[in-house]
Amino acid sequence: MSGGGLVAGPDGGLRCPWGLSTEDYVVYHDTEWGKPVHGDDALYERLCLEAFQSGLSWLTILRRREGFRTAFASFEIAKVAAFGPADAERLLADEGIIRNRAKIEATLANAKVLAGWQPGDLEELIWSHAPKKPGRAPRNTADVPAVTPESTALAKALKKAGIRFVGPTTAYALMQACGLVNDHLAGCVSREA
C-alpha cells in the first residue's frame, strides 16, 4: 500500500484506496481485513496464505483462496500434518493454488510442527504480539508500516518455534489481516465496523 487517502466508494462511503480497486478487494476490505481472527486452524490458514502471498499480489491469493482451501483440507492442521510425499506432488500439480515448492513444503512442515502443540497455543502465540496500545489511525497509506517491532518479535517467535517462511513483513501482513492491528485509514467505513 502506498499513496493516498480515503476514496469514496459507489455507496458514498469512504474507504482505504486499495479497498476499491476490484470487487474482490471491496468485499475483503469491508468484511474481513482487520477483523479479529481466532482459532488455531483459522490462524494457520492466514499464516499460510500470507506466506504464499510473499512476492505476489494479495489479489492473486484472494482469488485462489477456495482452491487453497480445497487443496489443503480447509487448513485443518491435523489433516495437513498427515499429508505425505504424494500429497506434496499433488499440490505441485494443482493449478488452483500457487505451485511454489518452498511455500508448499513450508505449509506442510508448519502443520507438522503445529500438530504437536496444545489447542490454543498458536492463537496465544500470535495474539500475545498484538500491540498493547492501539496506534494512531493512519491518515493515508504512506502512514501504514510494512514492519513493526511487534511483527519482528512475532516472526522471531514463530521461527524459534519451528515455523518456516515467515519474516517480519509477512508477520505484519498477518497482524493486519487478523485484526491484531487496525490499519484502516482514519475515517474509513470499515475502521470502526
What is the sign, positive or negative, of the torsion defined by CA atoms of 40, 29, 150, 61? positive
Alpha-carbon distance 153 to 131, whole Å? 11
Identify the H or E element spanning 86: helix 85-92
Question: Which residue in this structure is represented by grid cell 459507489?
Answer: 10
Q: Are the CB atoms for 175 and 181 separated by under 8 Å?
A: yes
Respond yes or no: is residue 127 known to be catalytic.
Answer: no
Instruction: State the catalytic residue, choosing from 25, 28, 44, 172.
Output: 28
Respond yes or no: is residue 58 known to be catalytic.
Answer: yes
Give the relative orientation of helices 101-115 and 85-92 as an angle to the nearest 10 degrees: 140
Local structure of 166: helix, strand or coil: coil
Instruction: State the catalytic residue, choosing from 45, 50, 123, 150.
Output: 50
Instruction: State the catalytic residue, choosing from 58, 123, 127, 150.
Output: 58
Alpha-carbon distance 90 to 74, whole Å? 16
Cell matching residue 88: 506434496
Cell matching residue 66: 477456495
CA distances from 120 to 41, 78, 94 (A): 10, 14, 31
Residues with a known catalytic role? 28, 50, 58
